[in-house]
Chain A
Amino acid sequence: MSDLNHNGNLGSSLANFTILEIGNQLGDYAALLLAGLGAEVIKLEPRDGAESRRIGPFATVSNDSEQSIFFWRYNLNKKSVTLDVDHADAQPVLAALAAKADIVLLSGEFETVERRLPLWRKIAEDNPRLIVCTITPFGLDGPYRALKATDLVQMALGGIMAVCGYDPADDGVYDTPPIAPAMWHSYHLGGEYAAIAMMAAINFRELSGEGQFIDVSVHEAVNTCTEVAIPTYVYSGQVVKRQTARHAAPSVTHVRLSQSADGVFMLAGLSPFEREMRALAELADQVGIGHVLGTPEFAQLEKEDRVAAAIYRNDLLEEVVGSRSADEIFKRAQSVGLAWSPIRRPEENLDDPHFAARGSFATINHPELGRDLRYPGTVASDGQSPHFSYTRRAPRLGEHTDEVLLRAGVSDTTLASLRKTNVI
């Protein structure tokens, strides 16, 4: 209860919280989010490292457990302890760690998590305030619980792939596959929902003094994110169709990708509001492209042939976008109130003055590289409100083993013996 009073940084919401993270890449992001809120996250890794250390890209040597950029990105602020959690001799160590922990996060394939759970049920009996959260591909029960999955397979079964991809060919038949958007998105969704559930459990504990068990299903997390797909089917029986860079919808909507003079794809669309028509006319005037918008002639066309009028507007839009650089069109469009944006590569944001002003990228020192790297991660920070922030690079394997275990009350002699038997 008193942690907030002792903590100078009010925005660091989970200061004095300790989380034990055991498992694979299904849990990395959830724990990263809580670490960003100020919790101490202790990652318990097998002696050859967590599986996420084997995911690329790699900074230098491929498959070197200290060089995985994936591991770096998803393990900022955390501490690493090597501990073979499945070894019988690890049990007293886990109990000692759990006695001082608030949350245990178990992630991985169903069989692994299922095998580890009984120990945690027992430990939770002695620690009624403990919150135990599992993240598995399909949840702990149900007929699919033991199915094999990867990020791609989760995006397929969860329904996001079916709504993402390219327009069908002119004959209406899709000649490109559905696309799993970006990468690791099923882990992002599972992680975000796990963090939400854990925050709810933390709040419940403040009211009741009780911990609890949380069972997160990545499959369901992916399922929550298909917008109108389910309601459209459930109510009307219609099935939405995937379309290039726009919402999946029951019918194919008009194309919205256009290219700037410097070849950048722009997300530039028009809503059927008079305000937006006037804005397009103003933008065309600004870049010196002649048009008939706003004339009686165009009003007549709109009355007589709405499709032709729409085509005229879209052609004009394309011509306007194609007349200048993406950056210039972006700023000009915004100045007339059009919500357009270039489709940027992620790295273009590194030098964007807006994100610089907000401090959206955290500068993280990598002593081993002799340099800093900037990571996305600071969200909603004004320093005073709860926010996510990151200050420390991901841990090297076992970097904090001695520090954490000694603090938990494990003796020097026990440490030496555990080391000898390859438990730590």
Chain B
Amino acid sequence: MSNGQAKGGRALEGVTVIDLTWLQVGPQATRLLATFGAQVIRIEWRERKAIDFIRYTPPFAPDHARADGGRSQGVTQGHGTRNNFDRGAYFNNTNPGKYGITLNLNHPKGRDLLRRMVRDANAICENFSPGQMDKWNLGYEELRKINPRIIYMQTTGVGKAGVYKDYVSYGPTAQAFSGLTFLSGLPEPHPPAGWGYSYLDHSPGYFGAILLMAAIRRQRLSGAGCYIDMSQSETGLMLSGTSVIEHQLTGKPTARYGNRMPFRDWSPHGAYRCAGDDNWIALSIQSDEQWRALIEEMSSVEWALDRRFASAAGRKQNEDELDENLTTFTIGRDRYDLMNRLQARGIPAGVVQKAPDRFDLDPQLRARGYYVDLPHSEIGTWPVEGFPAKLSRSPASVGGPTGRAAPKLGEDNDFVYGKLVGLSAAEMASLAEDGVI
């Protein structure tokens, strides 16, 4: 595993981002900017109701984990006391590479301080409920008066412009609304299986990072600022495949296909049960050649020689029976051994990997250095999920400029307020006393 520090240049060198985001969808975009070298300053407040819910999302680092002893230093997995907002596993994975400060925006002096920071920043990102920043008089129209170059990205469930602009939503709400939840699962009358992770808490972050980087480039070249109205459900439309277009041509309602492949003559195509508890292998047969290779692997078992299965069209037509029969072959077998055997015969096959498989067993992720060890100031060094591409000149570095995992609440007050904003120690003490920082 690498230490997460970039060795080459940084694509976003010299870029400062004020990060007012929380939960998953907002922090995803700013995490990616930190990964490419932006100085991301995460602003939070100490009151319980203002603290990012993700800080309280279990699990927590085991109680015996300390600054000098995290998992990467040999500490074992274990139980962590709940409700410690500096020890959350998910928060640590979601917010690496960022600076963390406390700032009370309900206090007039807090809002003044934010305006002062906006003056020198490149971008500001938020995903509060619609209208919150305007209530504080900190909306884009106000902030651009202070800094006309500022890039302001607001992420909401449905978008700031439009009929439902005041609607409330979480990622899953936007996902249901956009049509994505419907698309996943076994054919009706099965209900939608929907999501097991919230797509629309991730994808808008990716779109957000792309647009922010486009805006940063434009700002560098022309000095232009802008407002980006990021709608979670609109990005959901982008992910809805061909369904909407097909519907316009056929008039038929969109259907679900489970794990099957309706758009090519590939079958069998699905997940098949293997030996062990809830163990499965996914495979796709794309050609008669691969089908014959599978038959060989199954020692020419009698059912597979049935003439109905000899052609792609025949296999498609008898797919239920095919799947049932194939399961009789896979069910007693070791999933990884079977994957290796099928791959050796040129058949696309892969274990349905669970978290322990991906973390402990997957040799590819290990070889590519996907998990990155990053230190945290209270719980020690832990692996964080990495960036899925290698760049030769300006490498991704999830540890960002801090070289750290997530910040503790207010961890960087001295650095940010003292060094970057230029407050004196006395000013900082006075602001702390007033409940501003």
- What's the least CB distance linking B208 to chain A, in Å? 8
- What's the least CB distance linking B30 to chain A, in Å? 13
Bound CA span A232–B78, Å: 10
Q: B20 in the interface, Cβ–Cβ < 8 Å? A: no
Q: B271 in the interface, Cβ–Cβ < 8 Å? A: yes
Q: Say which one of A66-74, A289-297, A308-316, A395-403 lies at the interface with B.
A: A66-74
Bound CA span A272–B333, Å: 44
Q: Say which one of A139-147, A317-325, A413-421 lies at the interface with B.
A: A139-147
What residues of A have a CB within 8 angstroms of the CB of B13 in the complex?
207
- What's the least CB distance linking B87 to chain A, in Å? 9
Chain A residues numbered 1-30 whose CB sits less than 8 Å from any CB in chain B: 1, 4-5, 10-11, 13-14
Q: A202 in the interface, Cβ–Cβ < 8 Å? A: yes
CB pair A223–B282 under 8 Å, yes or no, is no
What residues of B have a CB within 8 angstroms of the CB of A173 in the complex?
278
What residues of A have a CB within 8 angstroms of the CB of B89 in the complex?
228, 231-232, 234-236
Annotate B235-278 by CB proximity to A: 1 below 8 A, 0 otherwise.
10111111111111100011001110111101001111100001
Annotate B95-131 by CB proximity to A: 1 below 8 A, 0 otherwise.
0000000000000000000000000000000000000
Q: B138 in the interface, Cβ–Cβ < 8 Å? A: no
CB pair A73–B241 under 8 Å, yes or no, is yes
What residues of A have a CB within 8 angstroms of the CB of B266 in the complex?
150
Q: Which of A143, A149, A211, A385 contacts B350 (CB 8 A)?
A: A149
What residues of A have a CB within 8 angstroms of the CB of B193 in the complex?
164-166, 179, 181, 244-245
User: Size range of the interface on A?
Assistant: 35 or more
CB pair B346–A148 under 8 Å, yes or no, is yes
Q: A61 in the interface, Cβ–Cβ < 8 Å? A: no
Residue of B nearest to A173 (CB): B278
CB pair A355–B162 under 8 Å, yes or no, is yes
Chain A residues numbered 328-361 whose CB sits less than 8 Å from any CB in chain B: 334, 337-350, 353-355, 357-358, 360-361
CB pair A339–B169 under 8 Å, yes or no, is yes
Interface size on B, residues (CB 8 A): 154
CB pair A55–B264 under 8 Å, yes or no, is yes
Chain A residues numbered 192-234 whose CB sits less than 8 Å from any CB in chain B: 192-197, 199-204, 206-208, 210-221, 223-234
CB pair B168–A347 under 8 Å, yes or no, is no
What residues of A have a CB within 8 angstroms of the CB of B390 in the complex?
139, 214-215
Q: A409 in the interface, Cβ–Cβ < 8 Å? A: no
CB pair B191–A354 under 8 Å, yes or no, is no
Bound CA span A219–B10, Å: 25
CB pair B257–A183 under 8 Å, yes or no, is yes
Chain A residues numbered 347-393 whose CB sits less than 8 Å from any CB in chain B: 347-350, 353-355, 357-358, 360-361, 373-382, 384-388
Bound CA span A213–B390, Å: 8
Q: A78 in the interface, Cβ–Cβ < 8 Å? A: no
What residues of A have a CB within 8 angstroms of the CB of B92 in the complex?
231
Q: A73-B241, A144-B364, A237-B78 are in contact. Are A150 and B388 (CB under 8 A)?
A: no
What residues of B have a CB within 8 angstroms of the CB of A226 in the complex?
196-197, 355
Bound CA span A384–B249, Å: 33
Between-chain CB contacts (< 8 Å), 19 pairs: A55-B264, A153-B284, A155-B282, A163-B197, A183-B183, A195-B206, A200-B396, A203-B216, A219-B364, A227-B201, A230-B355, A231-B93, A339-B167, A343-B176, A345-B253, A355-B162, A377-B238, A381-B229, A385-B226
